[in-house]
Amino acid sequence: MTDFIVPKLSYVQLSPILIVLGGALIGVLIEAFLSRKVRPIAQLTITLGSLILALIQLWHIRHESSLTAAMGSVAIDGATILMQGSILLIAILAVALIADNEHFTVLAAAVPGSPEERDSLQSGEKLTEVFPLTLFAVAGMLLFPASNDLITLFVALEMLSLPLYLMAGLSRRRRLMSQEAALKYFLLGAFSSAFFLFGAAYLYGYSGSVSLAGIRAAVVGGSGNDVFLLMGIAFLSIGLLFKVGAVPFHAWTPDVYQGAPTPITAFMAAATKVAAFGAMLRIFYTSLANANWDWRPMMSIIAIITMLFGSVVAIAQRDVKRMLAYSSIAHAGFLLTGVIALNKSGLDASIFYLFAYGVATVGAFGVVTLVRDSSGEVTDLNKWAGLAKRSPFAATLFAGFLLAFAGIPLTSGFIGKFSIFSAAYESGNKSLVIVGVLSSAIAAYFYIRVIVLMFFKDAADDGTSVIIPSILTRSTLIITSVITILLGVYPAPLLNFINSLASFVR
Amino acid sequence: MNPANYLYVSALLFTIGAIGVVVRRNAIVVFMCVELMLNACNLAFVTFARINGNLDGQVVAFFTMVVAACEVVVGLAIIVTIYRSRRSASVDDASLLKR
């Protein structure tokens, strides 16, 4: 009988995650005990406060010497710090959009069109459950790229997904579509996490260990049953590729992006991508690096299909949110080239790209929330014609974000694409680079078409207008656009910072 | 008995679940098929724990059960809401979001 060993958790390293979780729990208590009048302001304070506190704490621990926490289950290395910082910053910006309660229904359980729904809307009350849900999702996202064993990976994956399924169904207008988005996201998300878990089971079967370091040792040793390894890689990748929305596992992306309330779409599109790619980079750069002959060819094919499919199908879209969804699929393809590159510059470039893309995405969806008519947000592209005459501010910002997505020089997108493609070139994947540049050119076509639509077409008189943004929304829009331009003009400090910090503990 | 047989059963259950998700229409049944897939994973984990001679796989199975329970809570909430709005839990009826 061995003695019970007290686990050493290293609370300091875990503190950013714990602060966010603590904020979420306080948020649940606020829902239970405070009156409806004070809840919105209390929730907003707690949410923003815990996110900012976590970010400050993260800055303090960035050079901590101990790299793993919770007995090796969580890796707090340089790459984790950078991913968590990106996620927290994106979450803060997105929460400022979420704080505009105009987007959410008051009583999510009320049947659309029922007397209860009418009464709840007339009462002028606000939905505040969304704040703790956001914090739970953020905590899951912080844990996912830091996970250093299969159990933590799976728990973090579910922790980030489950609140998002619910949040997708909270829209105030077009509620049936919103609920449908929640259902689709949930069923397909649960389906893919089953694949993820099955892959995890086979990796465990192959290596006899649930820790990523143990799997790495088994892969390097190469003594196990290769069938288990291949099945494990295949199924685990399906689960991860689903989360990042790569073709052919992208089917949920356009529907969920379109149906979910726009601030939630902004949050989910940006932060989930960082978290999922963070976990993917860790798994493929550490555990499975020595098996790269097994997964690289298939991943390259998926990356190529994803880039081309996303760019080509986006051209045919008539809805702004669907167009941004297909653009996010194309970006998932660009990011996959960073995973396939499998070198230090690929890691640096991926992290920079994730941050730049996430910030621009929050900004772009932030602009979408402003364009309204009497029935709510207007997402039909035809009605966006002549937007610059209605609001030069909104149209200019949106044009800036689209140019960043397209990768035009002097925006963050250009630096991101340039560094990720040069990393892929360095690792000898020339075909990937060629397809990447080609599909960037295709993608530029539809981004620029939208800009032409906004600036050089006449506005129809159809009641579409651009509302005056609230102070929080406005600050999000300004901060995101400043970051987007700044990273395009003067990226060196951030690139150097990432370069000095980004590494995986093995 | 050869533990590999349990792996075959687990793969079979997983396949039945996956096919069920693809072909069935009722959201509840689709969801039950997902749960079947999760349980197939559990069986695989426990079998591998036996083959590898350590307890890690059994620990994972416990975590999976808890996570699956959370998923049931969230999933049924969403499905019941949809049913109350539409009087139907068919995944084919929910098709507003197309182009």
Give A-chain residues touching B84 at CB under 8 angstroms: 111
Query: What pLDDT score was predicted for residue A158?
Result: 95
Q: Which chain B residue's Cα is nearest to A192?
A: B34
Query: What pLDDT score was predicted for residue A121?
Result: 82
Q: Which of A21, A37, A58 lies closest to A132, judged by CA?
A: A21
Query: In angstroms, rounded to a whole number, what is the distance separating the alpha carbons of residues B30 and A187?
Result: 8
Q: Cβ contact (<8 Å) for B82 and A194?
A: no
Domain spans in chain A, listed from the N-terminal domain onward: 11-501
Query: In angstroms, rounded to a whole number, what is the distance separating the alpha carbons of residues A268 and A257?
Result: 9
Q: Cβ contact (<8 Å) for A177 and B96?
A: yes
The whole-angstrom distance between A278's CA and the closest CA on chain B is 22
- Which of A155, A166, A181 faces B67 most closely, judged by CB atoms? A155
Per-run averaged pLDDT (10 residues), chain A, 506 residues:
79 93 96 90 95 95 81 90 96 94 81 85 85 96 95 95 94 89 94 96 94 93 89 95 92 93 95 96 93 92 95 92 94 95 94 96 94 86 88 93 93 94 92 93 91 88 83 94 94 93 84
Least trusted range by pLDDT, from A11-25, B18-32, B33-47, B75-89: B75-89
Q: Cβ contact (<8 Å) for A210 and B56?
A: yes
Query: What pLDDT score was predicted for residue A479?
Result: 96
Instruction: Write out pLDDT tens, residues B37-57.
Output: 999 999 999 999 999 999 999
Evaluate whether A373 touches A462 at the Cβ level (below 8 Å). Answer: yes
CB pairs < 8 Å spanning A and B? 132
Give A-chain residues touching B97 at CB under 8 angstroms: 177, 180-181, 184, 254-255, 258-259
Q: Which chain B residue's Cα is nearest to A321?
A: B99
Give B-chain residues touching A111 at CB under 8 angstroms: 84-85
Q: Cβ contact (<8 Å) for B41 and A198?
A: yes
- Whether A209 has its CB under 8 Å from any CB of chain B: the answer is yes
- Whether A494 has its CB under 8 Å from any CB of chain B: the answer is no
Give A-chain residues touching B79 at CB under 8 angstroms: 183
Q: Which CATH number fits domain B1-84: 1.10.10.60, 1.10.287.3510, 1.10.10.10, 1.10.3720.10?
A: 1.10.287.3510
Q: Could you tell me where the DSSP H helices lie in A378-429?
A: 387-390, 392-406, 412-426
**Residue A376 CB burial class (10 angstroms; 0-12, 13-18, ≥19):** middle
> Per-residue DSSP letters for B32-79?
HHHHHHHHHHHHHHHHHHHHHTSSHHHHHHHHHHHHHHHHHHHHHHHH
Query: What pLDDT score was predicted for residue A112?
Result: 85
- Which of B51, B67, B91 faces A158 most closely, judged by CB atoms? B67
Give A-chain residues touching B87 at CB under 8 angstroms: none
Query: In angstroms, rounded to a whole number, what is the distance separating the alpha carbons of residues A263 and B86?
Result: 26
Rg over CA atoms, chain A: 22
Query: What pLDDT score was predicted for residue A382?
Result: 87
The packing angle between helices A226-244 and A150-167, to 10°, is 30
Q: Cβ contact (<8 Å) for A111 and B85?
A: yes
Q: Which chain A residue's Cα is nearest to B54?
A: A208
Q: Cβ contact (<8 Å) for A180 and B97?
A: yes
Q: Cβ contact (<8 Å) for A183 and B59?
A: no
The whole-angstrom distance between A459's CA and the closest CA on chain B is 23
The packing angle between helices A78-98 and A273-282, to 10°, is 170
Q: Select from A197, A236, A381 the residue whose CB has the most chain B CBs within 10 Å, as the one to mutate to test that interface.
A: A197
CA distances A134 to A26, A203, A257, Å, are 13, 32, 17
Say what the alpha-carbon torsion angle A141, A142, A145, A147 is, to the nearest 10 degrees: -110
Give B-chain residues touching A202 at CB under 8 angstroms: 44, 48
Give B-chain residues touching A191 at CB under 8 angstroms: 18, 21, 34, 37
Q: Cβ contact (<8 Å) for B56 and A202?
A: no
Q: Where are the beta strands (DSSP E) in A34-182?
A: 68-69, 74-75
Q: Cβ contact (<8 Å) for A187 and B85?
A: no
Q: Which of A26, A23, A20, A17 lies closest to A70, judged by CA?
A: A17
Residue B58 confidence class, pLDDT cut points 50, 70, 90: very high
- Whether A21 has its CB under 8 Å from any CB of chain B: the answer is no
The whole-angstrom distance between B4's CA and the closest CA on chain A is 11
Q: Cβ contact (<8 Å) for B85 and A191?
A: no
Give B-chain residues touching A224 at CB under 8 angstroms: none
The whole-angstrom distance between B32's CA and the closest CA on chain A is 10
Q: Cβ contact (<8 Å) for A111 and B84?
A: yes
- For A235, the token pair is 């199924």
**Residue A386 CB burial class (10 angstroms; 0-12, 13-18, ≥19):** middle
Domain spans in chain B, listed from the N-terminal domain onward: 1-84
Q: Select from A143, A154, A166, A191 the residue whose CB has the most chain B CBs within 10 Å, as the one to mutate to test that interface.
A: A191
CA distances A406 to A264, A326, B86, Å, are 23, 13, 40
Give B-chain residues touching A177 at CB under 8 angstroms: 96-97
- For A119, the token pair is 């009464």
- Which of A190, A209, A259 faces B97 most closely, judged by CB atoms? A259
Other Cβ atoms within 10 Å of B86 Cβ, number: 16
Q: Cβ contact (<8 Å) for A198 and B48?
A: no
- For A3, the token pair is 């003695």
- Which of B67, B86, B94 faces A154 most closely, judged by CB atoms? B67
Q: Cβ contact (<8 Å) for A183 and B34?
A: no
Q: How far is CA A176 from the centre of its chain?
A: 24
Evaluate whether A420 touches A353 at the Cβ level (below 8 Å). Answer: yes
- Output phi, psi for A193, to 5 deg: -70, -25
